[in-house]
Amino acid sequence: MKELRLTDRIEAPFPARLKGVDSTGRVFTEHSVLNNLSNGGLHMCVMRGIPLGVEVTVDVRLSADAGVDPALRLAARGTVVRTEPKPDGCWGVAVEFTRRRIL
């Protein structure tokens, strides 16, 4: 299978908060950890279905060590470009960034 990614990804369990509107039309905030992160987007698992094309905001703490304070943070806006149900009941969600900044 040909690799379609344009940028390298890192696999890091950084804590993240995802905000948006779920498949029922309800506003949500969910805390999770990243599966991977790149310059162009991220992938994480959440406990709800999120429709493709939905605009979301993501806040990522760029340290897996909770004892490191202050830690750099990534604040981003993006679009859900892929979702897939997982065997454990969660949903894998891929977000493509439209805006991002390091705080």
pLDDT at 53: 93
Nearest to 39 by CA among 7, 4, 17, 64: 7
The reply to whether CATH 2.40.10.220 applies to domain 9-102 is yes
Please say whether the beta carbons of 59 and 74 come within 8 A.
yes
Q: What is the pLDDT of residues 58-95, one digit of tens each?
A: 999 998 777 767 889 999 999 999 999 999 999 999 99
The ranges assigned to domains in the chain are 9-102
Distance CA 32, CA 4 (A): 26
pTM: 0.87
Question: Would you say residue 12 has pLDDT above 80?
Answer: yes
